[in-house]
Amino acid sequence: MAGLSVLHSKVFIRPRKGQKAYSASYQLIGCQVTTFPPLANRPAPCYTAPMHDPRLVFLGLDGLPWSLAQNLCAQGLLPNLATIAGSCGCRAISAELPELSPVNWTSLFTASSPGEHGVFGFTRLDPRTYELQFTDFTHVHGATIFERLADKGLFCKVLNMPNLAPVRPMRAMLVAGFPAQTLRGSVHPAAMEGILADHDYTIEADTVRGASDTAFLLGDLHRSLACRERALDLLWPDLAWDLFFFVLTETDRLGHFLFPALVEPYHPWRSEALRFMAAWDGLIGKFLSRYHDLPGPKRLMIMADHGFTTLTQEVDLNVWLREAGLLHLSRQPASEWDAGAIGPGTRAFALDPGRIYLHTRERFARGDLGPAEADRLGTELARALSGLTWQGRTVIRHVLLGRDLYHGAQSHLAPDLILVPQPGFDLKGKFGRTGMFGHFGRQGMHTADDVFFYDSMGTSARTPTEVGQTILDHFDTPASTFGT
């Protein structure tokens, strides 16, 4: 297998900028790695290992809705993607709930549902201290598909996978994506950190500044896209891999701040947004060309993790809960993320997006709801929130019970209620906002439906979890997870 061959091959790495040329050996996934002075026009060494299973190539398109892809392809604006979008192997699937990137990419790369891997959002609340923490790979339960394939002697290369940092050592080459902020701790083997830094690779575009500076945002997305292309040029050519993952997150960032420009013909930023999409489609074309030239047998999958639509209003559920007398704050929150302000007497609180937690004593240090009272309150909340409106429009499409939606060893971490909004209403759970409805810089929001998926072998996967399971099936690996 390719992984076993790579373990005994030599990999040549150039010295970092500013360092003197020298020769040395390192251990890199069991390989001997030799540095040498850079030589002009010297081709990169290429090694193609014998294959026992068809190679699988995966392209991730963060936040690309199926309907938008169809529309832009039909207009002739994305000619490379159109070669895929018009094929019989391409269709819409559904995201796991909540419809967030860490939930869905984790479901994909663990081939397990949120109730099994334990990731339910960008944030998680410590039930003892009430500290709101950002979710990362340390919160993921179970093994990744990369580890499971490595156990079979297969080798994976993974580029820009969200929620994979801090990476843990495994027989794979990994470059994690958001919410990682720096390369340190986000790549494996560690020698890759210097190589990527030498090529000016950064993990994420600056959307903090970009939120208020559209021209800067677009320019930084072009820069971010160029980083992805350089990394692809570094990791692909040796072909010493069985599974190659390449994720582009730029469409999600564009969607959050400029989605209307992609769907409104007279939007003032439409031409610049489409210019970025043309560059993005150019990289898609390069990737598809690499796949086309890849010796067979082979298989291609392309997936988005969620859909997108234009944002009508952000809806802060904690404001509603406060006004209903169900959420009590012990002090003024220091920020919108300050869940530590949740006080005694609170019966329910919300976290992004649309996650309602009942404040039970068996789960939270300051909670005082018993099981029977929590059941009654959950029923009452589901009924009341289903009737929430804005200017005569229904805000909530569905209210789902966590115990019905999530199953597995980590389902006890799940929210008690999951609210699925009508398109355009982004459900929030902030602390300290005074108004229930408003706009706070974003113009687009995630959707759980309208999710893009393609498989060159035409499988019937319906969610990112099932796509992950299909990848394991491709390599004859059981889909059940192991480890905690």
Single out the residue of 59, 302, 300, 276 nearest to residue 161, CA to CA. 59
133: which DSSP letter?
E
- Asked if 240 contacts 199 with a C-beta cutoff of 8 angstroms, the reply is no
Q: In this structure, are 202 and 78 located in the same domain?
A: yes
Q: In this structure, are 283 and 364 located in the same domain?
A: no
- For the chain, give percent helix, strand, coil, nearest 5: 35, 20, 45
What is the number of other CB atoms lying within 10 angstroms of the CB of residue 91? Answer: 17
Lowest mean pLDDT among 28-32, 422-426, 442-446: 28-32
Q: In this structure, are 201 and 322 located in the same domain?
A: no
Convert the pLDDT of each residue in 264-321 to its tens digit. Answer: 999 999 999 999 999 999 999 999 999 999 999 999 999 999 999 999 999 999 999 9
- On whether residue 12 sits in a domain, the answer given is no
Q: In this structure, are 319 and 261 located in the same domain?
A: no
Q: How far apart are CA 292 and CA 297, in angstroms?
A: 11
- On whether residue 38 sits in a domain, the answer given is no
Q: How far apart are CA 3 and CA 5, in angstroms?
A: 5
Q: In this structure, are 355 and 380 located in the same domain?
A: yes
480 vs 234, higher pLDDT: 234
Number of compact structural domains in the chain: 2
Q: How far apart are CA 416 and CA 401, in angstroms?
A: 6
Q: In this structure, are 277 and 329 located in the same domain?
A: no
Q: In this structure, are 369 and 410 located in the same domain?
A: yes
Q: In this structure, are 285 and 166 located in the same domain?
A: yes
Q: In this structure, are 408 and 278 located in the same domain?
A: no
22 vs 177, higher pLDDT: 177
Q: In this structure, are 253 and 331 located in the same domain?
A: no
Q: Global pTM?
A: 0.89
Percent of the chain with pLDDT over 70: 88
Q: How far apart are CA 222 and CA 403, in angstroms?
A: 43
Q: In this structure, are 114 and 236 located in the same domain?
A: yes
Single out the residue of 308, 253, 317, 351 nearest to residue 448, CA to CA. 308
CATH code of 275's domain: 3.40.720.10
Q: Is the pLDDT at 135 greater than 60, yes or no? A: yes
Q: Confidence class of residue 478 from pLDDT cuts 50, 70 and 90?
A: confident
* Amino acid code (one letter) for 66: W
Q: In this structure, are 318 and 305 located in the same domain?
A: no
Residues spanned by the domain of 330: 313-441
